[in-house]
A = this chain, B = another copy of it.
Amino acid sequence: MEDLKNSLVPTSEPESLSELRIGGEILFRGKVLDLALDTVVLPNGREATREVVLHRGAVAVLPIFPNGEVLVEEQFRYPHGRILLEIPAGKLDSADEDPLAAAHRELAEETGYRAERMLCLGEYIPSPAILGERIHLYLATGLTEGERSLDEDEFLTVRRIPLSDLVDAVLRGEIPDGKTQIAALRAHLMLERHTLDLL
């Protein structure tokens, strides 16, 4: 392990962990997700089934102002029956849409703001065992205000709050949404380490 101290690339032999698909079917094709029931061969040669939710992917954006304030949204989330505080986010229009273009689009539609710069924070896999969704995370800077253009059936309110308040709330365990926790903590640490410039 000594040689790998700073590398977190997986070091396991792939054949010791990998599962190979040998069959399956799509049980449901929806507007937002598909459901597949697949049969796989495990590393020990036995067969198993995998219930897999397929999703075309999404983007999420933390818009941050030079004074350290950020934009967040309040939105009702039906699977949880409650209003959550989240950063702006949305599905890709198609599986091959450029995530950067989607980030600019979703930010403008949901908040009205346009960003001069989108800094990619890499990907976020929300629930790797069951859900194929990958979310591309961005920090948006150089913000200018414009018009919102919500879908007719989209309801959310936008708030502007200090990043430090958001980080404190995350550390108190008060912000359940995963992408919001990650974006807030990463932006905070990047500012602390001077690897993020807000101007």
Q: Which residues of A contact B (CB under 8 A)?
A: 1, 5-6, 8, 10-12, 14, 16-19, 21, 27-28, 30-33, 35, 37-38, 40, 42-44, 46, 48-55, 72, 74-80, 83-86, 120-134, 152-153, 155-157, 159-162, 165-179, 181-182, 185-186, 188-190, 193, 195
Collect the chain B residues with CB atoms within 8 Å of residue A127's CB.
126-127, 131, 133, 178
Contact B185 A155 (CB under 8 A): no
Q: Which of chain B's residues have a CB closer than 8 A to the CB of A35?
A: 27-28, 35, 53
On whether A157 and B122 interact (CB within 8 A), knowing A28-B28, A178-B178, the answer reads no
* Tally of this chain's copies: 2
CA gap between A185 and B49 in the complex, in Å: 34
In the bound complex, how far is the Cα of B80 from the Cα of A33, in angstroms?
15
